[in-house]
């Protein structure tokens, strides 16, 4: 089969694959619009492959590779990241090209042996090491926890391309367009933030360190392992990462509720109306039974206000809300305002669990927690309206002090 060859430059090719079959990335995060596993082939005196792809898309990957190689062998396989969505084809590459040298760092190789039993033909690189393959020079930067401890980035200095592993990646397949100037960016902006918040968001400090390391590089392209190759909007995506990793948010409120029979949902609607009446334009309400936490977390990364509400369930909190709370406590986004509410029929358990969450997450608590018995009374409705107004006022007050300082809050 003859694949159209996709070039980043005369001798650098995209050999990645699109995965439209997998429903859940990491078997957890929904990817209704798929995901791309980007891999790159660099032709030179010595041929280099940059990362591989997930096992499920190996056939088309190998076909593309062989078409471009035209009988030549791969000399180096650089592994920037060992997570199996990128290392899934390593064993196959070694079977096809037994002389290939695997390039990684001292944290790569124990994983390579552990996952795949590979322990030969290894070249260990350290921070700032350089590999020459002819015209191309690969510089290595260790960027642990962006996203795993072994993760590194590779900068090719002749063509000024940063191979950034998961960083600057996005959910979503590459449907024809490969480069950021070939596709509609609004889709990828949202999917990039969802990917960041779900996958990398826990490691904000490490992302900041990686950004500091890369600051002095002259970048013509950023080639991540997922999503578009950035060449037009490099300053913009670097700014996204700077903002997301420092938890800079916009004025707006995410209201997430868990409700069995609609009473807690009713409370969410009352609060949302009060916020809107205070001229806050970005208010999103999510039913945690319907919307996966992936999307709610992504919006929490965008908006400063968070309001969580739950009914009681078997003496505790409603199960889908418990899942969201667990994810948030795990990822630990910062710099939010939080309000809580809920309902109960006899013994409670929803609001008391939300109060414990509030203690753990340490976001600024706005207003008193409101717990309604059965369904909201007129008195409850007044309290809910006041809670919404308090959140809106705090957001506006914060925005005026933010514009005075005009800088993101650093962790």
User: Residues interacting with ligand FEO, by CB under 6 A?
Assistant: 81, 83, 85-86, 147, 166, 225-226
Task: Report in angstroms how near the CB of residue 293 gets to ligand FEO at its nearest.
Answer: 18
Indicate the helix (H) or strand (E) that contains 24. strand 24-25
Q: How many residues does the chain have?
A: 411
Q: Which residue is nearest to ligand FEO (CB)?
A: 83
Residue 283 CB: number of other CB atoms within 10 A? 21
Task: Report in angstroms how near the CB of residue 226 gets to ligand FEO at its nearest.
Answer: 6
- Give residues with Cβ within 8 angstroms of 239, minimum separation 6: none
| Beta strands at 35-37 and 17-19: parallel, antiparallel or unpaired | antiparallel
Which residue, 274, 296, 259, is CA-closest to 382?
Answer: 274
Closer Cβ to ligand FEO, 83 or 380, answer by number: 83
DSSP 8-state symbol, 334: -
Task: Report in angstroms how near the CB of residue 36 gets to ligand FEO at its nearest.
Answer: 10
Closer Cβ to ligand FEO, 225 or 263, answer by number: 225
3-state SS of 158-211 is CCCEEECCCCCCCCECCCCCCEHHHCCHHHHHHHHHHHHHHHHHHHHHHHHHHH
Task: Report in angstroms how near the CB of residue 193 gets to ligand FEO at its nearest.
Answer: 16
Closer Cβ to ligand FEO, 174 or 306, answer by number: 174
CB 193 within 8 A of CB 296: no
SS3 state of residue 387:
helix
Task: Report in angstroms how near the CB of residue 305 gets to ligand FEO at its nearest.
Answer: 30
SS3 state of residue 214:
helix
Task: Report in angstroms how near the CB of residue 329 gets to ligand FEO at its nearest.
Answer: 21
Task: Report in angstroms how near the CB of residue 166 gets to ligand FEO at its nearest.
Answer: 4
Closer Cβ to ligand FEO, 297 or 370, answer by number: 297
Which residue, 75, 51, 76, 53, is CA-closest to 63?
Answer: 53
Strand residues in 279-391 grouped as ranges (E): 283-287, 303-313, 316-317, 337-344, 364-365, 370-373
Closer Cβ to ligand FEO, 87 or 352, answer by number: 87
Residue 407 CB: number of other CB atoms within 10 A? 9
Token pair, residue 164, equals 């950034």
Closer Cβ to ligand FEO, 16 or 342, answer by number: 16
| Residue where the block lists tokens 């902006």 | 189
Closer Cβ to ligand FEO, 54 or 343, answer by number: 54
Token pair, residue 331, equals 């990822």
DSSP per-residue codes, 249-310: -EEEEEEEEE-SSSHHHHHHHHHHHHHHHTT---EEEEETTTS-HHHHHHHHHHEEEEEEEE
- CA dist 249 and 305 (Å) reads 9
Task: Report in angstroms how near the CB of residue 152 gets to ligand FEO at its nearest.
Answer: 12
Closer Cβ to ligand FEO, 226 or 336, answer by number: 226
> What's the count of helices (H) and strands (E) in the chain, helices before strands?
12, 23
């Amino acid at each position: 089969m003859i694949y159209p060859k996709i070039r980043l430059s005369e001798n650098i090719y995209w050999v990645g694959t699109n995965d439209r079959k997998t429903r859940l990335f990491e078997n957890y995060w929904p990817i209704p619009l798929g995901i791309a596993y980007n891999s790159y082939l660099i032709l030179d005196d010595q041929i280099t492959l940059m990362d591989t792809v997930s096992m499920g898309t190996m056939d088309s990957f190998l076909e593309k590779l062989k078409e471009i190689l035209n009988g030549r062998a791969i000399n180096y396989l650089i592994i920037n990241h060992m997570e199996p969505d990128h290392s899934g084809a390593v064993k196959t590459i070694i079977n096809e090209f037994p002389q290939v040298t695997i390039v990684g760092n001292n944290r790569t190789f124990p994983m390579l042996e552990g996952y795949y039993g590979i322990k030969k033909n290894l070249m260990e690189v350290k921070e700032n090491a350089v590999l020459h393959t002819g015209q191309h020079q690969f510089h290595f930067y260790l960027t642990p926890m962006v996203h795993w401890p072994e993760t590194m980035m590779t900068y090719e200095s002749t063509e000024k391309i940063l191979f950034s592993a998961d960083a600057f990646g996005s959910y979503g397949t590459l449907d024809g367009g490969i480069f950021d100037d070939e596709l509609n960016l609004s889709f990828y902006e949202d999917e990039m933030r969802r990917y960041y918040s779900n996958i990398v968001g826990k490691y904000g400090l490490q992302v900041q360190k990686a950004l500091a390391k890369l600051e002095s590089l002259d970048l013509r392209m950023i080639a991540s392992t997922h999503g578009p190759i950035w060449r037009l909007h490099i300053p913009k995506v670097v700014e996204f990462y700077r903002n997301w990793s420092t938890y800079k948010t916009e004025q707006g409120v995410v209201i997430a509720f868990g409700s069995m029979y609609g009473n807690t949902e009713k409370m969410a609607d009352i609060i949302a109306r009060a916020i809107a009446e205070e001229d806050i334009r970005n208010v999103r309400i999510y039913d945690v039974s319907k919307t996966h936490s992936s999307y709610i977390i992504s919006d929490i990364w965008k908006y400063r206000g968070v309001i969580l509400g739950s009914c009681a369930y078997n003496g505790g909190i409603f199960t889908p809300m418990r899942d969201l709370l667990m994810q948030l406590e795990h990822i630990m986004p910062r710099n939010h305002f939080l309000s809580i509410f809920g309902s109960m029929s006899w013994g409670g358990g929803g609001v008391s669990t939300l109060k414990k969450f509030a203690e753990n997450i340490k976001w600024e608590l706005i207003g008193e927690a409101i717990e309604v018995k059965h369904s909201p009374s007129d008195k409850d409705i007044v309290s809910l309206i006041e809670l919404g107004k308090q959140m809106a006022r705090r957001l506006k007050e914060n925005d005026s002090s933010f514009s005075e300082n005009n800088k993101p809050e650093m962790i």
